Amino acid sequence: MTYKEQMDKWLSSDAVDAKTKEEIKAMNDKDAQESFYSYLEFGTAGLRGVLGAGTNRMNVYTVCHVTQGLAEFIKAKGKDAMERGVAISYDSRHGSTLFAEETAKVLGANGIKVYLSDSLRPVPELSFAVRHFETIAGVMITASHNPAKYNGYKVYGEDGGQMPPENADIVLGYINNTDIFGDVKSDDLDKLINKGLVVKFGGELDRAFIDNVKKQQIHPGIFEKAEDFKVVYTPLHGSGNIPVRMVLNEIGVKNVILVEQQLDPDGSFSTVKSPNPENKEALTLAIQLAKKHDADLAFGTDPDCDRVGTAVKDKNGEYITLTGNMIGALLTHYILSGRKANGTLPDNGIVVKTIVTTYMTDTICRDFGVDVENVLTGFKFIGEKMNGYQANGDYTYLLGFEESYGYLSGMHARDKDGVEASMLITEMAAYYKTKGMNLYDALMELYAKYGTYRERTIALTFEGIEGAGKIKAITAGIRKNPPKEIVGMKVLALSDYAERVRKDFVTGEQTAITLPKADVLLFELENNAWVAVRPSGTEPKIKFYIGVNENSVSEAEAKIDEAFAFINKKFLV
């Protein structure tokens, strides 16, 4: 069906409300094509897209369409699956409350029990809720750290992790065989609540979640020694406000300074350009407040509170942001050294990270006799490893993290936990303060011991139909003509995760890659350096990752600058 035929279908349907039809009629041809040329892609990350009318947009109709497909998937599993039900939560984005309620109405109308959050709650608590209520699935309405014009629909499996590819494919099959208007069932929410098909959850689950988060402390009571420790926190208008403040209070942090302008939920994220704590600009107000109060730490969580961005003073007394790789390396050392000191470091411990995450982790873990396992980008792959370790007992999971500012050390969830990470980062900063150090000092100490590992991620956005084609063209060009040398460093090997083969250019040997197929190219260079290329699975972006290991920070940064200039000239012009 062409985009114009899709438009006509929406305009002629009695199921579409008058306001949506007016929005469609007001579209110019380019906007109409972008909105209707395809359906939003459903995969292991669910849906994510721009808010608006059309099949390629996030709206009530696309949300209900996908939910009907999910309902068919659950019904096919039988009565027990339907009775176990689905947990639903949402963040502060435009449309999130409405989409959550519409999801509950469709599932309930299909006879599937629903546990619906009574207010906004973070991703990790939804993952925890799936496990706590033992539901068959979960849905989180969020577009994570994307700009305000986006929203999304993340589907979770019964383990609390994002739905695995094989199940996502089955759900997609049901979606494709379901008419967006004629086949979708729905019912009145109050009626479903009275029938017991929709049950709202709140404070009781919050209590259980926070109790599990607190179990991950490494040095309980550290704030009795660091009474003057000061931390600035901002939830960036998102769902972290209540749970993060709650856990900080309960572990004894006495001086929590809040960015008042960013406490209330605001789907427009009016005080920031983008609510992404990976960007220093998102922490502007927090850093200003940290300077005013001479705080030891400033940090912020994104709207669904699964990522944490951090700022601390450098050697010149200026507040700088630490990357996800830096915090991940610091947490790795903090957890391993702390557990070794208190006698709880297991002989079969393991840390899990993604293939585009700092290699410094490997060096630290070797020092403590702890194994490292690398997985594809996406926390669902870390969650799958956690399930395997728990089932077979081969390893004891200690920490999983991604370079994109997501961390989890406990077994209570199967997705990134910004609440737990906020607690651990704050505790870690207080611990180092008792040693006369801050997190920057601690990082420099790790560099002195393990080598100066530095990384940088460059994300380029290409939106719309033309953008998708541009991203494909860039990756295809690199795959067809891979470089043999990057800024004076020979390419020693290339791992092509689409072909699932590693080619060693020194020995000529080719070995199979056992990880799932993915559109990722990873170049291994001399001097423990590496470069990776990966189209994002959730945003209209292509990402370049650069990692080096040099003798000093200045040398490392200079090498990364050179590598980026090479990439820009070689592949992007």
Specify which residues 116 forms β-bridges with: 88, 200
Residue matched to tokens 């065989």: 177
Is the model's pLDDT at 525 over the cut of 80? yes
Is the model's pLDDT at 250 over the cut of 80? yes
Q: Nearest 5°: CA angle at 276, between 309 and 466?
A: 145
Helices (H) then strands (E): counts for the chain: 19, 23
Share of the chain above pLDDT 90, in %: 88
Task: Please report the pLDDT score of residue 116 as a whole number.
Answer: 98
Residue scoring higher pLDDT (322 or 146) = 322
Average pLDDT over residues 357-386: 96
- Tokens encoding 493: 């090997």
What does the alpha-carbon distance between residue 409 and residue 36 come to, in Å, rounded to a whole number?
Answer: 42
Instruction: Find out whether 309 and 259 touch, Cβ atoms under 8 Å.
Output: no
Q: Which residues of 422-446 are buried (b: 16+ CB within 10 A; e: fewer)?
A: bbbbbbbbbbbbeeeebbbbbbeeb
Average pLDDT over residues 296-315: 97
For the CA atoms of the chain, what is the radius of gyration? 24
Torsion angle of C-alpha atoms 377, 378, 380, 384, degrees rounded to 10: 10
Is the model's pLDDT at 350 over the cut of 70? yes
What does the alpha-carbon distance between residue 90 and residue 505 come to, in Å, rounded to a whole number?
Answer: 48
Is the model's pLDDT at 305 over the cut of 70? yes
Count of alpha carbons within 13 Å of 152, Cβ hemisphere only? 26
Instruction: Find out whether 310 and 405 touch, Cβ atoms under 8 Å.
Output: no
Task: Please report the pLDDT score of residue 97 as a whole number.
Answer: 98
Structural domains of the chain ordered from first start:
3-201 (3.40.120.10), 211-218+228-450 (3.40.120.10), 452-571 (3.30.310.50)
Distances (CA, A) of 164 to 43, 86, 372: 9, 16, 22
What does the alpha-carbon distance between residue 573 and residue 567 come to, in Å, rounded to a whole number?
Answer: 9
Task: Please report the pLDDT score of residue 481 as a whole number.
Answer: 87
Task: Please report the pLDDT score of residue 264 as a whole number.
Answer: 96
Q: Which amino acid, 283?
A: L
What does the alpha-carbon distance between residue 407 and residue 475 come to, in Å, rounded to a whole number?
Answer: 28
What does the alpha-carbon distance between residue 254 and residue 224 come to, in Å, rounded to a whole number?
Answer: 9
Structural element, H or E, at residue 409: none
Q: Nearest 5°: CA angle at 368, between 400 and 546?
A: 50
Instruction: Find out whether 421 and 297 touch, Cβ atoms under 8 Å.
Output: no
Max intra-chain CA distance, the chain: 70
Q: Which residues of 107-141 are buried (b: 16+ CB within 10 A; e: fewer)?
A: bbbbebbbbbbeebbbbbbbbbbbbbbebbbbbbb
Q: 461-476: per-residue pLDDT in tens?
A: 887 777 888 888 888 8
Q: 193-209: per-residue pLDDT in tens?
A: 999 999 999 999 999 99
Average pLDDT over residues 439-446: 98
Is the model's pLDDT at 569 over the cut of 90? no
Nearest to 305 by CA among 264, 283, 270, 275: 275
Task: Please report the pLDDT score of residue 559 as a whole number.
Answer: 94
Instruction: Find out whether 413 and 319 touch, Cβ atoms under 8 Å.
Output: no
Residue ranges of alpha helices (H) inside 76-164 are 79-84, 96-109, 123-133
Nearest to 62 by CA among 34, 93, 78, 41: 41
Q: Which amino acid, 364?
A: I
Task: Please report the pLDDT score of residue 316 as a whole number.
Answer: 92
| Averaged confidence pLDDT in the chain | 95
Q: 527-546: per-residue pLDDT in tens?
A: 889 999 998 866 788 999 99
Residue 359 CB contacts under 8 Å (≥ 6 apart), including other chains: 453, 528, 530, 547, 549
- Tokens encoding 161: 């992790």
- Tokens encoding 500: 């699932």
Residue matched to tokens 């919050």: 206
What does the alpha-carbon distance between residue 236 and residue 418 come to, in Å, rounded to a whole number?
Answer: 13
- Tokens encoding 362: 């490997």
Is the model's pLDDT at 573 over the cut of 60? no
Average pLDDT over residues 177-200: 97
User: Is 144 marked active-site?
Assistant: yes
Q: 12-65: per-residue pLDDT in tens?
A: 999 999 999 999 999 999 999 999 999 998 887 789 999 999 999 999 999 999
Task: Please report the pLDDT score of residue 43 as a whole number.
Answer: 80
pLDDT bin (cut points 50, 70, 90) of residue 567 is confident
- Tokens encoding 132: 């706590």
Q: At what angle do helices 418-434 and 241-250 cross, to 10 degrees?
A: 40
Q: 91-141: per-residue pLDDT in tens?
A: 999 999 999 999 999 999 999 999 999 999 999 999 999 999 999 999 999
**Strands of the 308-313 sheet, one edge to the other:** 255-258, 230-234, 297-301, 308-313, 319-322
pTM for the model = 0.94
Residue matched to tokens 């991620």: 457
Query: Which is the catalytic residue, given 35, 92, 96, 144?
Result: 144
Return the sign of the alpha-carbon dihedral for residues 220, 221, 225, 231.
positive
DSSP 536-567: -SSSSEEEEEEEEEESSHHHHHHHHHHHHHHH
